[in-house]
Amino acid sequence: MSVRGTSDEILARDSVYVGKQADSQDEAIEFVGGALVDLGLVDAPYVDAMKKREESFSTYLGNGVALPHGTFDAKSSVHGTGIVIAQYPDGVPWGDETARLVIGLAATGEDHVNVLAQLAEVLMDEELCEQLWVTDDADLIYRSLQAEVQ
């Protein structure tokens, strides 16, 4: 699994959005889920499965990062592996936490395990995460996370 600079890449530059606003977790999930649908990675029912997962298990990872993804039952709605990153500088209520980077994930097979493991290292860097929360430079977010998703 590598970032090849083609339509097969896991994180495309145009899948990074900065300066977004959302009043709720569901609104943020609808945005990143809708972007996954637009990319052809998932069918529309996957977005509802992303919300359903949050009802039973929060995808908040820490350091202002949430990684919503669908339930196992929604696997048939997934057509490819990829992520969409939305930055919310003002934050989005995420359970008892506040998410500032919301990373929508779609993955075929066991790809989600690899993507999570690769993102975890960079997202555990609190100082970097805080920088990514407030930058207006989508390229900085892309370069910081794209290097990890290989």
Residues annotated as catalytic (active site), given as ranges:
69
| Residue 43 CA: distances (Å) to CA of 4, 60, 137 | 24, 23, 30
Q: Report, in this order, helix, strand and coil percent for the chain, each rounded to 5.
A: 45, 20, 35
Alpha helices in the chain (DSSP H): 25-38, 45-56, 111-123, 126-134, 138-146
Burial of 113: CB neighbours in 10 Å, binned 0-12, 13-18, 19+:
exposed
At 128, give phi and psi (nearest 5°). Answer: -65, -45
